[in-house]
Amino acid sequence: MVYVDSKCKFYMNLITKLRNIQRKNNSLLCIGLDTDVSKIPASLKHHSNPQLEFNRRIIEATTDLVCAYKLNLAFYESAGEKYYETIQKTLGYIPGKIITIADGKRGDIGNTAEHYAKIIFDDWKFDAATVNPYMGKDSIEPFIKSEDRCAFILALTSNPGSKDFQYLNVEGKPLYEHVVESAKKWNAKNNIGLVVGATHPAELKKIRSLVPEMPLLIPGIGAQQGEMEETVRSGCDRNGELALINISRGIIYASQADDFNKRAREAALKYKEQINNFRG
Amino acid sequence: MVYVDSKCKFYMNLITKLRNIQRKNNSLLCIGLDTDVSKIPASLKHHSNPQLEFNRRIIEATTDLVCAYKLNLAFYESAGEKYYETIQKTLGYIPGKIITIADGKRGDIGNTAEHYAKIIFDDWKFDAATVNPYMGKDSIEPFIKSEDRCAFILALTSNPGSKDFQYLNVEGKPLYEHVVESAKKWNAKNNIGLVVGATHPAELKKIRSLVPEMPLLIPGIGAQQGEMEETVRSGCDRNGELALINISRGIIYASQADDFNKRAREAALKYKEQINNFRG
């Protein structure tokens, strides 16, 4: 994808933007802002929008340690009336050089998908969105139709239910590999990435071999118990880049006391360094 | 599923509620409230919330002609700040005996899916939600975990992209049939239905034979060109019930003039009668 830097109006491909920030911050870490209103420290409860203030402080404490922030839309939708505003203002706190991902796993017929893509890219101005492949190409097209949009397509997810359909044997190959092949085929604008869970390191390695130059968004480290070393070694490209290692709960809830932002920074720094140890 | 009638606190299974309203209104018609702010008649533009006022008038004009209303969440999300309120108040206009469906095609890991389900069922109080099967059982569990929740799982969708993955041959059967079989297996609380597009009438017939007593939500008639007679004959159970034939654009945009609600009523009546002609 390309993007417009809010200051200099300079267009840049997603992969270039990703490599730039991964080098500048020397980090593959993506912090997942799965901000649960029930887990926000008591000291923020008096704030007019505790979820937003929580995000502001987490972002302020970590911008030099990450390549991306991923906002899990469910946590903002479930908070109710301030959904739109909280996301809009949270994005305002994130420096333009850092990748922003709307994690909503959308997927619907073209006419509807246009609406999901419109708010994510035109209104909120995310760099990228996660999408579900089940409904096929026309459900993904609005997310990749122009070079200033980008989609991370679910390939092999990190949860236990990934075993229900994603591994089904389709003509000698698991379903998720068919998804990977379709994603390659649809990638004419070079603005597609894949979601691959850290809980499947061998499969991650295979997928990386199939798409040597595609960004891979990798959740499942931390609360979901994925193993760091194998994930980093398998998920990076040959330059030790293009993997986005997402950690959510392990960072943003490192502490629920008033020092949550400091503890989040410490956790982010620890994860960033752990990741870098294995980048080779 | 069961539900609590807001007046009498009487619990009822989804299938019972669906049969009751289909008999009372003599209708299998589900109106899809895909309310696009750019298509709302000019005369409503002065209203403080044109999307909500549009829905109010459409609902007021059609409650005796339908078994269900389906709200396509994308159209409300893309309208911005009033997302939460517009959905909440729209539901307030729908009589308690009519089925309400949140069409968001959600699917995410359990912890996140809980948040999507929470706002749909606990806050907005929909009867049912559409969900995407790709991430497997734990992504659907929050939508079916109690008898006052209900999920319509995407099986075979109405769009062109349904051919990309849903027909892939898995051990002699298309992928969507594996989804249907899993849905049957997961239906311990009798609160699962399926989404099957009207654009695949032969497959619809096969699916109905596999799940003779499951509600089928059937989009694709109207703007998407599905054929009515085969859809109704194939989609109903043996009593000519349990199919919800969804029509959106063909009804709500029957006119964009001030008489849009009257024209919507006429269109709804026409579709209801067309459907009833083929119920056998």
User: The domain spanning residue A142 has which CATH number?
Assistant: 3.20.20.70
Q: Around Cβ A168, how many Cβ atoms within 10 Å? A: 18
Q: Is the ipTM of this complex over 0.85?
A: yes
pLDDT over threshold 90, residue A8:
no
Q: Count Cβ–Cβ pairs < 8 Å, chain A vs chain B.
A: 173
Identify the burial level of B7 via C-beta atoms within 10 angstroms of its C-beta, where 0-12 means exposed, 13-18 middle and 19 or more buried. exposed
pLDDT at B37 over 90: yes
**Digit-coded pLDDT (tens) for B231-243:** 999 999 999 999 9
Residue to test with chain A: of B72, B105, B176, B177, most A Cβ within 10 A: B105
> Quick one: pLDDT at residue B12?
67
Report if residue B214 sits inside a domain: yes
**Do B161 and A137 count as a contact with CB atoms less than 8 A apart?**
yes
pLDDT score of A4 more than 80: no
> Does residue B195 sit within a domain?
yes
* For residues B217-234, average pLDDT: 86
pLDDT tens-digit map of B99-150: 999 999 999 999 999 999 999 999 999 999 999 999 999 999 999 999 999 9
Mean pLDDT (chain A) is: 94
Query: Whose structure tokens read 């009833």?
Result: B276
Q: Specify if A9 maps to a domain.
A: no
B236 exposed, middle or buried (CB, 10 Å; 0-12, 13-18, 19+)? Answer: buried
User: pTM for this structure?
Assistant: 0.95
| Residue A124 maps to a domain | yes
CA distance B24 to chain A (A): 32
Does the pLDDT at position A2 exceed 60? no
Residue B251 token pair: 């009804």
CA B263 remoteness from chain centre: 22
Contacts of A115 in chain B (CB under 8 A): 36, 74-75, 77-78
Give the tens place of pLDDT for each residue, A21-43: 999 999 999 999 999 999 999 99
Residues of chain A found within 8 Å of residue B153, distances taken between Cβ atoms: none
Residue A18 in any domain: the answer is: yes
Confidence class for position B4, pLDDT limits 50, 70, 90: very low
Angle B217-B219-B220 from CA coordinates, rounded to 5° = 155
| Residues A112-133: tens digit of each pLDDT | 999 999 999 999 999 999 999 9
At A5, the pLDDT band (50, 70, 90 cuts) reads very low
The whole-chain average pLDDT of chain B stands at: 94
- In this prediction, residue A225 carries a pLDDT of 62
Q: Is the residue at B4 inside a domain?
A: no
Q: Tokens standing for A219?
A: 């959740």
The set of catalytic residues of A is 105
Decide if B205 is inside a domain. Answer: yes
Give residue-wise pLDDT tens across range A69-85: 999 999 999 999 999 99
Percent of chain B predicted with pLDDT > 90: 91
Tell me, what's the pLDDT at A14? 87
A243 pLDDT band, cuts 50/70/90, is very high
For chain B, the domain total comes to 1
**Which structural domain, as residue segments, surrounds residue A192?**
14-277
Q: Do the chains contact at B159 and A80, CB–CB below 8 Å? A: no
**pLDDT the model gives residue B13:** 83
Active-site option among B17, B70, B105, B272: B105
Has residue A203 been placed in a domain? yes
Query: Would you state the torsion angle of the CA atoms of residues A253, A259, A262, A265, taken in this order, to the nearest 10 degrees?
Result: 0
Q: Is the pLDDT of residue B7 over 80?
A: no
